Chains A and B, each alone.
Chain A
Amino acid sequence: MRSAEKYTHISYLEHEGKYKGIWSWLLSTDHKKIGLLYLYSIAFFFVVAAILGLLLRLELIAPGPTIMGAQMYNGLFTLHGIIMVFIVVIPGLGAVFGNFFLPIMIGAKDVAFPRLNLLSWYVFIIGALLGVASQFAGDGPPDTGWTFYVPYSAQSATNVIFALTAAFVLGFSSILTGINFIVTIHRMRAPGMGWFKMPLFPWSLYATAWIQVLATPIIGITLLMVIAERTLNIGFFDPALGGDPLLFQHLFWIYSHPAVYIMILPAMGVVTEIFPTFSQKPVFGYGAIVVSSLAIAFVGYFVWGHHMFTSGISYWSRWFFSFLSFVVAIPSAIKVFNWISTMYGGSIDLKPPLLYAISFIFLFMIGGFTGLTLGALATNVHLHDTSFVVAHFHYIIFGGMGFAFFAGIHYWYPKMYGRMYNIRLANIAWGVLFTGFNLLYFPLFIIGLQGMPRRYFDYLPQFHAGHFISTIGAIILIIGIFMMMYNLIYYRHRGPVAPSNPWKGVTLEWQIESPPTHENFDVIPEIKHPPYLFKKEPQT
C-alpha cells in the first residue's frame, strides 16, 4: 500500500458537470454518485432503525414495562419493521452496489436511463420521508406491524394511511430501479460480453430486477385497496365492510415473499464476487450459480402461502406451498456448495470482506435450516408467531443481507473512495458484530420453541434468561456497528491511498482507477474471456 499521497487522475468524486457544490451531487445523473446518495440515505435510516431495535430489546430486558408501555412498543416495532424492510433491506444492495458497480462490471459508462435513475432516488426519499411523517402527523404512530394485516390495519385509529402510502411510493422507486437494471444489462454490456461472460453480481441483479418489476405492483394495488378501504369505506378485506381478510394475506405475501428474494439474491451475488477474489480461484460452477439465481427468482413466486399455514387456507394449498418451500431451498443450497468449493484448495486471504462473506454462509445456513423447520406443516403450527420466527428471519435478512452488505462495503470501499480503511480495526469490529449478532438472535430460537410469542412487550418470568442474554447481545451488536462505521467514516479521508486493485480481483471494476473517473472507462473494453480467470492457478 502506498503512503498517503493524492491520486493523480480526476475521479468522479471531484468531477463537476453542469452543477457545482452540493448540486453536483443532488442533480447528478452519474450512477456512482447516485449509488453513494443511496448509501448515505440508507445508512442513516439503518442506524435509526437499529437504535429503534435496541430500544425494543431494552424494553424486553426484564418482565413487565421497563422503559415503555405496550402502545409505544407496538409503534416502535412497526417503525423498525417498515424502515428496515422497505427503506433499508429491499433497496439496499441493488440501489447502492448495483448502481455503483453494475455498469462498471459490464463495461458500460452508465445505466440505460440515468435521469430515471436519479428520479428513483428522489421517489425513494419522498417515500422515506412519508414513512417518517407517519410518526408525527395525525393520530399517533401506526401500530400494525410492517405487514399491515387487515382487519386491524383497516380499523386501527393510528396513522396507517401515511405508512401505506410510504410503502407504495418506495415500491414505485424499486420498480424504476428494476426497469433500469434490466434494460442496462440487455443493452449496455461491453462488446464481446455475452450473457455467460457476465460476472455473477450483475446476474443476481438481473434476476432480482425481474422480481422487483413483476411482484411490486401487486403490493402497490393491495396497499391502494387498503387505503380505499380506510378513506372511501369500500370493502375488499375488512369483514365489517363485507371483505375477506385472508385475501389480503394472499396478496400481501404474493409480493412480500418474492421480496425476500429481492433482498437475498443480490446478497448472494456480492459474496459470489468475494469468494473467487480472496481464494484467487475461478468461481466453482458458474452456470449452476446463474441457473440457481433464476430458479430462486421463479420458484420464489409460488411459496407465499407458507406465511399463512395457520390462517385457515385449504389443506391442498398448504401441502403445495410447503412442498415448494422445500424445493426453493435446493438452489440456495447449490450456491452454498459452490461458494465452499470455490474456496477449496484456493490461496485464501482472510481479509475483512472474506470474513464477512464466510459469516454470511454460516448465518444464512442457520437461517435457512430453521426456515425448513418453519416450512414443515406440523412444526409450523407450533412455531408460528413465536420469537423463533423473529430469530429465523433476522438470521436470513440481517445475517444474510446485512452481512453481505458489510462484506460488499469492505470489498469495494477502496474502489469507491480510493482510500483504505484500517484492516485491523475492521477485523475487530467484525468479531464484535458477529458475537453480538449470535448472542442477540440465538436465544430467541430457544425461547421461541418454549412458546414466547413475537410482538409482545411483556413476557412470563421463565423467558427472562433468554431475553436478558438477547438484550446484552443487542448492545454488543450496536457497539460493533458503530466500530465498523467509525472505521469506514474516519478513514474515508485519512486512510492510505488505495491502489487500483488491492485484492487482486479480476472483474472489470478492478481494471480501472480507484476511485473511477467520471466516464469509468477511457476506452470501452473488449471482452474476450469468461470472468474469474486468475493468471496463476494455485492448484496443480
Chain B
Amino acid sequence: MTNTNSHAHPVDNEAGKLGMWIFLFTELFLFGGLFLVYAVFRAKYSEGFHSGANDLNAMVGTINTVVLLVSSMTVAMSITAIQKGSNKKAILFLLSTIVLALVFMVNKYFEWVHKFELNLFPGSLALQSLERGELMFFSLYYMMTGLHALHVIIGLTLLVICIFQIKAGNTHKGQYLLLENSGLYWHLVDLIWIFLFPLLYLLT
C-alpha cells in the first residue's frame, strides 16, 4: 500500500497496516466466492467430488502444504530479523521463502502437466465426457488453484521488491511497513491454501 503523502505528513504505519488488512478482506471474499460455488456443488454432487478428489495426488498436495507453511514461518522470521536490526538475516529468510515458493510452483507445474497428459485440461473432450459432479470438481480445481497460483506469483514479486528495498536501505529497523505488509500478503496465500488443500485433495 502506498503510504507517501503529498502533503509530507509523517508516515502513518498504522494506517498502512489497516489498509493492507482491509485489502486482504477483499482477497478473502474473492476466494470466498469460489468457496461458495464449491460448497453448493459439493452439496449437490458429493459422489462426483469424491471421485474427483481421488484423481488428485494427495502426496503432492501434502508436500505443497508443508512447503507453504514453512515459507510462512520464514517470512515471519524475516520480520523478526528486521525488527532486531539484522538486515542480512532478513534477506536470507526472504530468499529462503522465495526458494520455497518456487518449489511450490514447480510442484504445481508438474501436477498440472500430469493432468494435461491425461487430457484433463480445461475444455478437453475427456474432461467434458466426465460425469457432471466430477466435471464441476475439475472446473473448480483449475479455477481455485489457478487463482491461488496467481497470488503466489504476486506474493513472490512483493518479496523480491522487499529484498531490493532492504538492500537500498529504504526498509530497515525503523521503517519496515513494506516488509510487514508483504508478509501479511504472503500469509494470506498460505491461509487460502490451508482451506484449499483439504477441500481439493483430502476429501475423497
Contact = CB atoms under 8 A, between A and B. Distances in A.
B119 to A, nearest CB: 14
Given A234-B139, A235-B139, A241-B128, A187 B14 contact: yes
Contacts, number: 127
A221 B151 CA distance: 14
Contacts of B33: 217-218, 220-222, 225, 251
Given A244-B40, A244-B41, A225 B143 contact: yes
Contacts of B6: 17, 28-30, 110, 114-115
Contacts of B140: 236
Interface in B98-145: 122-123, 128, 132, 135-136, 138-140, 142-143
A429 interface: no
A21 interface: no
A476 to B, nearest CB: 42
Given A221-B31, A235-B136, A175 B18 contact: no
Nearest to B132: A242
Nearest to A184: B15
Is chain B's binding surface mostly helix, strand, loop or mixed?
helix
A175 B29 CA distance: 12
B7 A109 contact: yes
Interface stretch (B19-27, B76-84, B167-175, B183-191): B19-27
A484 interface: no
B26 A217 contact: yes
A514 to B, nearest CB: 20
Is chain A's binding surface mostly helix, strand, loop or mixed?
helix
Contacts of A242: 128, 132, 135-136, 139
A183 B18 contact: yes
B86 interface: no
B2 A109 contact: no
B22 A243 contact: no
A179 interface: yes
A222 B132 CA distance: 20
Interface string B1-40: 1111111010010110011001101111111111011001
Contacts of B139: 234-236, 241-243
B122 A233 contact: yes
Nearest to A248: B37
Contacts of B28: 217
A109 B132 CA distance: 57
Contacts of B142: 232, 234
A175 B25 CA distance: 11
Interface in A237-252: 241-244, 247, 250-251
A28 B7 CA distance: 11
A235 B135 contact: yes
Interface string B26-68: 1111111110110011001000000000000000000000000
B22 A232 contact: no
A114 B15 CA distance: 12
Contacts of B138: 234
Interface in A419-444: none
Contacts of A243: 136, 139
B19 A232 contact: no
A390 interface: no
A113 interface: yes
A123 to B, nearest CB: 13
B4 A213 contact: no
B40 A218 contact: no
A389 to B, nearest CB: 26
B30 A217 contact: yes
B22 to A, nearest CB: 5
A30 B5 CA distance: 10
Contacts of B14: 187
Contact of B37 (A110, A116, A215, A251): A251
B2 A115 contact: yes
Nearest to B20: A179
Contacts of A235: 135-136, 139
A234 B123 contact: yes
Interface string A193-232: 0000000000000000000011111101110110010001
Contacts of B1: 113, 116, 179
A236 B12 CA distance: 43
Contacts of A119: 2
Given A225-B33, A232-B142, A242-B136, 16 more contacts: A113-B2, A113-B19, A179-B23, A214-B26, A217-B27, A217-B30, A218-B32, A218-B33, A221-B34, A235-B139, A236-B136, A242-B132, A242-B139, A243-B139, A244-B41, A247-B40
18 contacts: A115-B4, A115-B6, A116-B2, A175-B26, A178-B22, A179-B1, A183-B15, A214-B29, A216-B26, A218-B29, A221-B30, A221-B33, A224-B143, A234-B123, A241-B139, A242-B128, A242-B135, A250-B36
Interface of B: 1-7, 9, 12, 14-15, 18-19, 22-23, 25-34, 36-37, 40-41, 44, 122-123, 128, 132, 135-136, 138-140, 142-143, 147
The 9 closest A-B pairs by CB, nearest first: A233-B123, A221-B33, A217-B29, A29-B6, A217-B30, A232-B122, A234-B139, A115-B2, A187-B15
